[in-house]
Structures are given as C-alpha cells and as structure tokens.
Amino acid sequence: MATIDTAMNAIHLLVAGLWAGSVLFIARGLLPAARNGSLDAEPLRGLIGRFRTGSRVASLALFLTGGHLAGTRYTAESLLGSTRGYLVVAMVVLWFVMTGLIEVGSGRLVDGLNERKVRDPARAATPFLTAAAVAGIALLAIGGVLL
C-alpha cells in the first residue's frame, strides 16, 4: 500500500470515529440534559454551532478520503458485483443519511435556541440526532467488517 493510501486510510478512520462519537455524545449526552432544562440556550447554541461546523468538515473529509480509498481499491464492477462492494455502497448511503439527519436535527435545535428556548427544540432534535448516531454506529461496524 502506498504512503498516500495509508495516510488516507488513517485520516478516514480517525475522522469517522470522531464524527460518530461526537454525534453519539450530542444525542445521548447533551440532548437529555437540554430536554430536562439543565442547559441554557446561549452556551448550548455555541456548542451546537461548533458541532455543526465540525460535522460538516468531517462529512467532507470522509467524502474525500472515502472517495480516494474506493477509487484505488474498487472498480465499478467490484462495487456493484461483490459483497465488499455492496458494503461500500451501503456506507455511502449511510453517510448521506447521517449527514442529512445531523443537518435537520441540529437545524431544529438551533432554530429553537435562537428563540431562547431549550426543552422543546431539544425534543424536536432528539429523534434526528439519535437516528444519526445509530447510522454512525452502523458505519463504524461496516467499516470494521471491511478492514
């Protein structure tokens, strides 16, 4: 494996773990506290703003590194004609789903926080960000199978 492939693989795995972990933390660690009113709107808005930025950067990094890895390891025939290829395609689909769920969930949260509300926006965001966390765990599991 060439040095660039090794670097892309390492970056891809590191970013994937951090991204999935951050979504899981938001969904299962931060939102429950927001739903019960333990958090104020202003600091939560700052945290969610940084989370959204980090999520977008991670999503782009995964797209670029994953595209490189898929392009060097698979052909069109192997992507659409083998079990490993199907798993890669499933990861791409889950990546789209996770990215969309994070955008919708964090958007609902930020919209409510801008009105200085916390509990209702946290309740509205919870199903989306929980589903995104599940998608992230599924992505890591599939990635583990592909290693």
pLDDT on residue 147: 81
What mean pLDDT comes out for the span 104-132?
Answer: 96
pLDDT on residue 113: 92
pLDDT tens column, 24-72: 999 999 999 999 999 999 999 999 999 999 999 999 999 999 999 999 9
Task: For residue 62, give the nearest of 90, 27, 99 by alpha carbon.
Answer: 99
pLDDT tens column, 5-19: 999 999 999 999 999
Q: How far apart are CA 41 and CA 107, in angstroms?
A: 14
Helices 83-114, 119-146: axis angle to 10 degrees equals: 160
What mean pLDDT comes out for the span 74-79?
Answer: 89
31-34 contacts at long range (C-beta below 8 A, 24 or more positions apart): 31/122, 31/125, 31/126, 31/129, 34/109, 34/118, 34/119, 34/121, 34/122
Query: Phi, psi at residue 89, to the nearest 5°?
Result: -65, -40
pLDDT at position 125 over 80? yes
User: Where do the domains of the chain lie?
Assistant: 3-146
Q: How far apart are CA 137 and CA 143, in angstroms?
A: 10
pLDDT on residue 1: 58
pLDDT on residue 42: 92
